[in-house]
Amino acid sequence: MMTRSRFGDKLLHVYTWLIIVWLSSPIAVMILFGFNDKKSKSNTSWQGFTTKWYQQLFEIDGLTVALVNSLVIALVSTLVTVVIGTMLGLAVGRYRFRGKGLTNFLVFAAISTPELVMGASLLSLFVSSNVPRDSLTIIFAHVLFSLSFVTVTVRARVVTLDPSLEEAARDLGASPWGTFRQVTLPAIMPGVLAGAMLAFALSIDDYVVTSFVNGSTMTFPLWIVGSVKTGIPPQVNVMGTLIFGVGVLIAVGNAVASRRRRT
Amino acid sequence: MKGRLTPYVLAFPAWFWLAIFLVVPIAAMASVSTQTGNVIDGFVQTLSFSNYTDALGRYSNQLLRSLWYGGLATVVMIVIGYPVAYWIAFKGGNRKSMYLFLLLLPFFVSFVLRTISWGFLLADDGILLGTLKNWGLLPSGFHVLATTVAVVGGLTYNFLPFMILPIYVALERVDPRVVEAAQDLYASKTAAFRRVVLPLSLPGVFAGVLMTFVPATADPVNSQILGGTENTMIGNIIQTEYLVNNNYPTASALSFTLMAVLLVGIFIYARALGTENVLEAAATR
Amino acid sequence: MDPVNDLAFLRGMTQSRTRRDAFRIAGFSAAALALAACGVQGKKAAPPKADAVKDFWAKQKQNNQVVFANWPEYMPEDKGPLEKFKAATGISYEYKEVINENAEFFGKADPVLRAGQPLGYDIVVMTNGVQLQHMIELGYAVPLDHAQLPNFNANAGQKYKERGYDPGNTYTVPYTSGITGIAYNTKYVKEDITSIQSLFDPKYKGRVGMMRDAQEIGNFGMYALGIDPEKSTQADWEKAGAKLKEQRDAGLVRKYYDQDYIDAVSKGDVYLTMAWSGDVFQRQLAGEPVKFVVPEEGGTIWTDNMLIPKGAANPVDALKLMDFLYQPEAAAELEEFIQYVTPVPKAGDILRAKVATLKGQEKKDLETLIGSPLIFPTEADYAKLRTYTKLTTAQEQVFNRIFQTVTQA
């Protein structure tokens, strides 16, 4: 019995890695073509190895600015979304209150509104109220479409929690804020973290909504889509590689750090 | 007194956001969906619900196809994703967040690059299919791109993390000792899983379905890039009606129809699996 | 045209509006709701009167700055032509790569211009087609002052002064052009493709690529039937639609492509496809086995055009920049980078002179560029080329539906 169970775990372990590899497989191609010594503008057939695109990484001004914009927008909108989305997730997961049905509907509507319609309506909204379009309006929009994802993820966690723990904490004299920080927040943390990752991914990769509300602010996806017509420069691949590389470093660093803590 | 106000305080910032940025656009969309006119002469409110019937008459094929593709992709995602979420939740140890992060990392890089890379990998005579064809394992006319399989596969690929993460979030709460106890209690592992683990993970699966089925059905990107001549989905139609034909009323009417159909679908699902009861039972105060 | 309209027209172009910085939530939502409830007002503009245009330009002053909105990769990375413009005129520039797609750009510009607000750009570049047509019809483009365009008048190719979509260059001047023809992969296609009928040849079943854009595919359907799209009628479109539907139902077409057709043909996913000249030229330079041909029945020439959007803050500076790009030297420098068709034939002479000063691979590449009919088409090539079908708004709905039924099944 025991051995079979270990075998099953091993199998699932391998399977999980296979899924990770599958999801990352296009990234491998992207990394490869960051080293392509291409002769013409198109970067789709392999023509030899070079590291020159790494040396010329920041030579396309517009691209560098776009990447920085994207990172800043993704960080800020993730932060805002996580705070208000987690609060809403707690509210709908834990409490009965007036307007809950409507709230659930709005959470659903924000996911199901086609991006294009959302982008276009937001644009009319901003235009008719004379709000200039820039990174701020992009952040408004990104928070809007990520909000539901964070809320839904956090709710999935909240409904599995046992409320008696918090009651116990309060009975022991903890303040509401203390209860939240020391009992509730740690308990819902996996949901909050997962929501944050989803929000970040949604923001940094968004094209449609952003393209309506950006004014003349460029983001990384907008720049890339625009350059498809004439050939995506390899620097784009290099920047993608760096984003991915930094991510892997963070993941590995995190794993190593937690191992240290354990031993 | 304080306790009673808590949910409102918690919900307020999100309400505020949704009220300004979502309710107004949805109201606008509702209004536009019954207007008539064109982009040059302008649109006037005529309360013509024929926009709905016309659009449905013309595009019911694409709408049904979208529901079919979206539903199929969602089922595939549950089947593929559940074991991953399960293993990370119970066996991930202190590397849980590392695994989750790695699952999501490819999606931090632009979809254009991912798509171009898939085109490279899956080309008819490319690195994968070309090799298999050279070995004689596939007929020379075989292709993956421009087929239904490619579209559903693309939807599955692009939304999988949105299924895995919420299932994980729900499962992670389950105490492994409870699972072990259940395995002792019930004769088989499957029975233990079915009676103990599965019910506890249902809120996560529900969240996953909400976050994948809905956007996958409305998705305009995958069918456009990976599909063939008869794989058009409703998202593409909405895009064309809006951007190319500047037919804002039809685009709005289609969006609303899609939203209504999806809402009904999710509602039926919640009822059928009793998820609603789970969600409601948890809301104790 | 009545005087009231004339006044409105002038006000729209001259009034400078300050953006209110305050974020007023209440007014914000209420305004949008009101807008939604009442529908969107039409803003159809009649053609401007000559003296109104003259008065407008007489009142404008040079501000020594200009904001240029363009497509990515449409300007050398060192901004050479713009730097030279700055040195020659003292006008400083802001260059923004913010246009990715015509439909999307129009979708985004329309509400802003409709509300009478400035886009924030002095020059934008749009392809001739439905959206450009809308810009002109809605009065979103400022009529140009040809007295201030001496280089354009002297150096633009004849073909670029006679364009059906903007007769007399009232609102636009070309930035660069391209040709829609057939590209084929020589690894898989062993014959010389010359005719459009090859796209309908059963031996290429499942290996033909067509474009999804209604104007592009519509024109090709008409060439196949020997119809001139510039003179076509609704009956012609219907015939072309039927021909294309037949092609699809016979399983010939693999997919209706946007810009991704070029990867498909260079990898061999499709053997032959509708294609844009510049894309194919770049693939050839990269050594890929693709060839481009303008079918003997006809091909389409399209043009990306510069225009000054209504409410632009610096129209005089914009006009100066437009004209500067028609100096053969500037045009040659642009052409070398963009690799589509330049509207300035004399740029060829400049490039030919440059060849002599180069060596090795650089020299070879430039020679290929100059020698290519894709970059400098001959008179015979031009004779086969047609523009997109010119459509009124009402016709456009009919036209689009005919061809979208084919491409979006």
pLDDT in tens, C258-278: 888 998 999 899 999 999 988
Domain that holds residue C231: 180-300+387-404
Element (DSSP H or E) covering residue C22: none
Q: Is residue C370 part of a domain?
A: no
> CB-based contact (8 Å) between C46 and chain B?
no
Which has the minimum average pLDDT: A94-98, C23-27, C374-378?
C23-27
* Same domain assignment for residues C243 and C136: no
Provide the pLDDT for residue B160. Answer: 96
Provide the pLDDT for residue C11. Answer: 38
Provide the pLDDT for residue B275. Answer: 61
Q: C40, C99, C108, C336: best mutation site toward chain A, by most A Cβ within 10 Å?
A: C108
Chain C hits for B15, CB-CB cut-off 8 Å, are none
* Same domain assignment for residues C350 and C393: no
> CB-based contact (8 Å) between C254 and chain B?
yes
Q: Is residue C367 part of a domain?
A: no
Chain B hits for C130, CB-CB cut-off 8 Å, are 244
Provide the terminal-to-terminal Cα distance of chain A, rounded to the nearest Å: 30
Task: Give ∠ CA A42-A47-A49 in degrees, rounded to 5.
Answer: 115
Provide the pLDDT for residue C45. Answer: 67
Chain B hits for C38, CB-CB cut-off 8 Å, are 45
Chain C hits for B121, CB-CB cut-off 8 Å, are none
Task: Give ∠ CA A211-A216-A217 in degrees, rounded to 5.
Answer: 75
Q: Is residue C72 part of a domain?
A: yes
Provide the pLDDT for residue B196. Answer: 84
Q: How far is Cα C54 from Cα C10, in angstroms, rounded to an integer? A: 11
Q: How far is Cα C389 from Cα C223, in angstroms, rounded to an integer? A: 12
Which residue blocks in C149-300 are alpha helix, DSSP H? Answer: 150-155, 214-224, 234-249, 261-267, 277-285
Nearest CA in chain B to C105: B243
- Going B21 to B27 to B30 to B32, the CA torsion angle's sign is negative
Provide the pLDDT for residue B126. Answer: 87
- The mean pLDDT value for B107-119 works out to 87
Half-sphere exposure of C78 (CA within 13 A, CB side): 6
Chain C hits for A218, CB-CB cut-off 8 Å, are 96-98
Provide the pLDDT for residue C404. Answer: 96
Q: A16, A171, A207, A212: best mutation site toward chain B, by most B Cβ within 10 Å?
A: A16
pLDDT band at C163 (very low <50, low <70, confident <90, very high): confident
* Same domain assignment for residues C259 and C196: yes
- The mean pLDDT value for C372-394 works out to 86
Residue C153: is its pLDDT beyond 80? yes
Do the beta carbons of residue C242 and residue C196 sit within 8 Å? no
Do the beta carbons of residue A153 and residue B207 sit within 8 Å? yes
- The mean pLDDT value for B268-275 works out to 77
Residue A210: is its pLDDT beyond 70? yes
Do the beta carbons of residue C96 and residue C67 sit within 8 Å? yes
* Same domain assignment for residues C137 and C265: no
Q: Which of A30, A106, A224 sits opposite B117 (nearest CB)?
A: A30
pLDDT in tens, B157-175: 999 999 999 999 999 988 8
Q: How far is Cα C211 from Cα B207, in angstroms, rounded to an integer? A: 39
Tell me how long chain B is. Answer: 285
Provide the pLDDT for residue A204. Answer: 94
Provide the pLDDT for residue C50. Answer: 77
* Same domain assignment for residues C274 and C318: no
Q: Is residue C163 part of a domain?
A: yes
Residue C29: is its pLDDT beyond 50? no
Provide the pLDDT for residue A179. Answer: 87
Element (DSSP H or E) covering residue C92: strand C92-97
- The mean pLDDT value for B61-83 works out to 97
pLDDT in tens, A99-139: 998 999 999 989 988 888 889 889 988 988 888 899 999 99
- Going C60 to C66 to C68 to C73, the CA torsion angle's sign is positive
* Same domain assignment for residues C50 and C169: yes
What total of structural domains would you count in chain C? Answer: 2
Provide the pLDDT for residue B57. Answer: 93
Residue B100: is its pLDDT beyond 80? yes
Nearest CA in chain A to C289: A45
Q: Is residue C34 part of a domain?
A: yes
Count other Cβ atoms within 10 Å, centred on residue A36. Answer: 18
Q: How far is Cα B135 from Cα A158, in angstroms, rounded to an integer? A: 53
Which has the minimum average pLDDT: A31-35, A203-207, B33-37, C387-391?
C387-391
Chain A hits for C94, CB-CB cut-off 8 Å, are none
Structure tokens at B238: 């909405």
- The mean pLDDT value for A206-232 works out to 86
Chain C hits for B120, CB-CB cut-off 8 Å, are 263, 267
Structure tokens at C280: 């194919």
Provide the pLDDT for residue B216. Answer: 94
- For tokens 């070079």, name the residue: A50
Q: How far is Cα C312 from Cα C119, in angstroms, rounded to an integer? A: 7
Under an 8 A CB cutoff, do A159 and B117 touch?
A: no
Q: How far is Cα B7 from Cα B285, in angstroms, rounded to an integer? A: 9
pLDDT in tens, C85-130: 999 999 999 998 888 788 889 988 998 998 889 999 999 999 998 8
Cβ within 8 Å of B, A 66-85: 83-85
Count other Cβ atoms within 10 Å, centred on residue C27. Answer: 14
Provide the terminal-to-terminal Cα distance of chain C, rounded to the nearest Å: 44
Q: A33, A36, A38, A42: best mutation site toward chain C, by most C Cβ within 10 Å?
A: A42
What percentage of residues in chain A have a pLDDT greater than 70?
96
Half-sphere exposure of B77 (CA within 13 A, CB side): 33
Structure tokens at B103: 């699952």
- For chain B, domains (ranges, CATH) are 58-283 (1.10.3720.10)
Chain C hits for B250, CB-CB cut-off 8 Å, are none
- The mean pLDDT value for C366-394 works out to 87
What's chain A's average pLDDT? 89
How far apart are the CA of C340 and the nearest CA of chain B, in angstroms?
A: 23
Residue C21: is its pLDDT beyond 50? no
Which has the minimum average pLDDT: A108-122, B13-27, B124-138, B171-185?
B171-185
* Same domain assignment for residues C275 and C163: no
Residue C382: is its pLDDT beyond 90? no
- For tokens 């982009």, name the residue: B39
Q: Which of C356, C376, C395 is the last residue of a domain?
A: C356
Residue B285: is its pLDDT beyond 70? no
Q: List the subunits that have 3+ CB pairs under 8 angstroms with A.
A: B, C
Q: Which of B25, B39, B43 sits opposite C39 (nearest CB)?
A: B43
C224, burial (CB in 10 Å: exposed 0-12, middle 13-18, buried 19+) = buried
Provide the pLDDT for residue C283. Answer: 86
Residue C168: is its pLDDT beyond 60? yes
Chain B hits for A254, CB-CB cut-off 8 Å, are 97-98, 101
> How far is CA A49 from each of CA A36, A45, A232, rounded to the nearest angstrom?
5, 12, 18
Under an 8 A CB cutoff, do A45 and C339 touch?
A: no
Q: A4, A15, A19, A82: best mutation site toward chain B, by most B Cβ within 10 Å?
A: A19
Bigger pLDDT: B194 vs C326: C326
Q: A6, A7, A22, A23: best mutation site toward chain B, by most B Cβ within 10 Å?
A: A23
Under an 8 A CB cutoff, do A19 and B165 touch?
A: no
What's chain B's average pLDDT? 89
pLDDT in tens, B183-241: 788 767 788 888 888 888 888 999 999 999 999 999 988 998 899 999 999 999 999 99
User: For C229, phi and psi rounded to 5 degrees?
Assistant: -60, -30
Q: Which of C115, C121, C282 sits opposite A128 (nearest CB)?
A: C115
Residue C72: is its pLDDT beyond 90? no
Do the beta carbons of residue C344 and residue C324 sit within 8 Å? no
Provide the pLDDT for residue C18. Answer: 35
Q: What is the CATH number of the domain that holds C104?
A: 3.40.190.10
How far apart are the CA of B70 and the nearest CA of chain C, in angstroms?
A: 18
* Same domain assignment for residues C157 and C56: yes
* Same domain assignment for residues C115 and C171: yes
Structure tokens at A187: 């308990």
pLDDT band at C233 (very low <50, low <70, confident <90, very high): very high
> How far is CA C252 from each of CA C273, C309, C403, rounded to the nearest angstrom?
11, 43, 17
- Number of Cβ pairs < 8 A linking chain A and chain B: 311
pLDDT band at C287 (very low <50, low <70, confident <90, very high): confident
* Same domain assignment for residues C9 and C122: yes
Under an 8 A CB cutoff, do A227 and C72 touch?
A: yes
pLDDT in tens, A38-75: 877 778 778 889 999 999 999 888 889 999 999 999 99
What percentage of residues in chain C have a pLDDT greater than 90?
62
Provide the pLDDT for residue C39. Answer: 54
Cα C223 → chain centroid: 21
Q: Is residue C397 part of a domain?
A: yes
* Same domain assignment for residues C189 and C310: no
Q: Is residue C123 part of a domain?
A: yes
Q: Is residue C113 part of a domain?
A: yes
Residue B261: is its pLDDT beyond 60? yes
Under an 8 A CB cutoff, do A91 and B10 touch?
A: yes
Under an 8 A CB cutoff, do B95 and A258 touch?
A: yes
- The mean pLDDT value for C213-242 works out to 96
* Same domain assignment for residues C219 and C326: no
Q: How many helical (H) and strand (E) elements, i.e. helices and strands, does chain A have?
A: 12, 0
